Amino acid sequence: MNEIKIFSFSGSGENGRNCYALQTEQGIILLDCGVKRETVGEQVGFYPPLTEEVASQVRMVFLSHCHEDHSAALPMLYHLGYNGEVYAAQETIDAAPGMIRKWMAYVEKQGGSLPFPQSAAEKIRFSPLSLGSNLVNGLPVEVGRSGHVLGGVWFQFPVQGKKVLYTGDMTLQPSSLAVDLPEPCDAAIMNCAYAGQCISQEKQYQKLLELIETTVCAGGKVLLPLPPKGRGSDVLKLVSAHGFGVPVFVEEQIVTCYQELQKKSLWLSQADEQGTCAANLTIVKNENERQQALNTAGGAVYLASDGMLTAPDGLVYYNALKADVNSLIIITGHAAAGTVGAGLFDEEYRRKNDVSVRAEKIICKVHLDEQDALSLQERLGFKKVILFHAIKEKNKSLLESFKERNIEALAGSWPQTITL
Ligand SMILES: [Zn+2]
Ligand SMILES: [Zn+2]
């Protein structure tokens, strides 16, 4: 029987443009096809280095979840000639086209160019998978909940007598979502976005609440830019349960995603009864209401969409608060180079753009950290692993720990491969 190769086209040893492959006797099984939201000079966004030749070898595509760093390069794959299906959970199929369109609109607005025509996005053919065992064109695939976002899953493939796991974006301690533990396997392509760190979700939330509290008590405003799906729901739940005794304004999209999530009991660890009914919570639906929210006297909290501060609503709050030294913007996840979310922590950017508002980074955990990655390996017993979602330098200690345990570990892209 021939060997199986697993490798990363991009996304391993970097943060974004996730795209991995299993090369089997039948051709390439592609796992995710996303973009990296980075602007360098004229280039808005980075894509996996796929070619027509590669696309012609791809037999099927599995999509772990809707986020742009996993989905938004799919139109490019079809433009290169792929004409098969993209398999994903129904909730991902519902959300991914909107995410892809949002990415395309962002690139256009930034004056960048897409490596595919607009029409390529219409070519994507999605096909739903159910949780548990599936048979896709004769290929058995096990699907489990990854705890990262509604519709987020891991895939496990028994191929040529070996079992290979792709975790997608995964967390072992989700706030509201349920997570399934995969079966023991031979090899894994594993998320380790927080490689080099051990993060306690409880402590992070505590820090977040304390920072908000001290700022609003002193009469300042707090802006929390959040991706509406996933982290947005978690922080909305946290903030509305806590109160703070000041008005809390939430962009409608975040509330809609939260309400959608509450209807999906299959994906939840437990339904959230208290919901978003806190008395001091106001939903912001348009620019007029946004301006009214900003005119509030004294302390206030704003939950805006897009964690990197690139969406229009978040930028309205940012522009209103950026000169206010008493106010605070809290970034709770990754902010890519070239975004305002990253600029807030860059002295030169702050000087050039007259930014005086305070900025803090408090990671809300939606991925695996160093300890999680090690414990997952212990539980599943795989002997070969490709790490992804963290820049090369951050992977050093985790690679070292795996080496000590005689595990073949890799953080880098093609032509580096792992052979089974
Ligand atoms: Zn994600
Ligand atoms: Zn991701």
Residues 379-402 pLDDT 10s: 999 999 999 999 999 999 999 999
| Cα 97 to Cα 144: distance, rounded to the nearest angstrom | 22
Whether residues 247 and 157 fall in one domain: no
Whether residues 321 and 377 fall in one domain: no
Q: Parallel, antiparallel, or unpaired: how do β-strands 132-136 and 126-129 relate?
A: unpaired
Query: Helix, strand or coil for residue 406?
Result: coil
Ligand 2 centroid from CA 111, angstroms? 24
The token pair that represents 379 in the structure block:
């539980």
Q: Parallel, antiparallel, or unpaired: how do β-strands 162-166 and 248-251 relate?
A: unpaired
Ligand 1 centroid from CA 304, angstroms? 18
Burial of 30 (0-12, 13-18, 19+ CB in 10 A): buried
The token pair that represents 30 in the structure block:
């592609």
Whether residues 285 and 384 fall in one domain: no
Query: Helix, strand or coil for residue 176?
Result: coil
Average pLDDT over residues 313-327: 97
Domain boundary (319, 344, 361) is at 361
Ligand 1 centroid from CA 69, angstroms? 7
Ligand 2 centroid from CA 66, angstroms? 9
Among candidates 151, 33, 148, 181, which has minimal Cα distance to 88? Answer: 151
Whether residues 392 and 319 fall in one domain: no
The token pair that represents 245 in the structure block:
């005794």
Whether residues 45 and 73 fall in one domain: yes
Report whether pLDDT(189) > 60: yes
Whether residues 184 and 265 fall in one domain: no
Whether residues 221 and 190 fall in one domain: no
Report whether pLDDT(277) > 60: no
Which residue segment(s) compose the domain that 340 sits in? Answer: 201-361
Mean per-residue pLDDT over the chain, rounded: 95
Sheet containing 153-159: give its strands across: 132-136, 139-145, 153-159, 162-166, 187-191, 384-388, 408-410
The CATH number of whichever domain residue 65 belongs to comes to 3.60.15.10
Among candidates 333, 280, 323, which has minimal Cα distance to 302? Answer: 280
Ligand 2 centroid from CA 279, angstroms? 34
Ligand 1 centroid from CA 244, angstroms? 29
Query: Helix, strand or coil for residue 93?
Result: helix
- Contact at 8 Å (CB) between 195 and 387? yes
Banded pLDDT at 230 (limits 50, 70, 90)? confident
Whether residues 311 and 355 fall in one domain: yes
Burial of 1 (0-12, 13-18, 19+ CB in 10 A): exposed
Whether residues 85 and 110 fall in one domain: yes
Whether residues 212 and 302 fall in one domain: yes
Beta strands in 11-83 (DSSP E): 19-24, 27-31, 36-40, 43-46, 58-62
Q: Give the other-Cβ count within 10 Å of 283's Cβ.
A: 15
Domain boundary (339, 361, 383) is at 361
Banded pLDDT at 336 (limits 50, 70, 90)? confident
Bridge partner list, 386: 189, 410
Domain boundary (361, 387, 410) is at 361
Phi, psi of 394 (to 5 degrees): -70, -20
The token pair that represents 270 in the structure block:
């437990």
Ligand 2 centroid from CA 217, angstroms? 35
pLDDT tens track for 60-100? 999 999 999 999 999 999 999 999 999 999 999 999 999 99
Average pLDDT over residues 272-288: 77
Whether residues 216 and 171 fall in one domain: no
Whether residues 160 and 288 fall in one domain: no
**Nearest-ligand number for the alpha carbon of 149:** 1
Banded pLDDT at 175 (limits 50, 70, 90)? confident
In single-letter form, the type of residue at position 414 comes to W
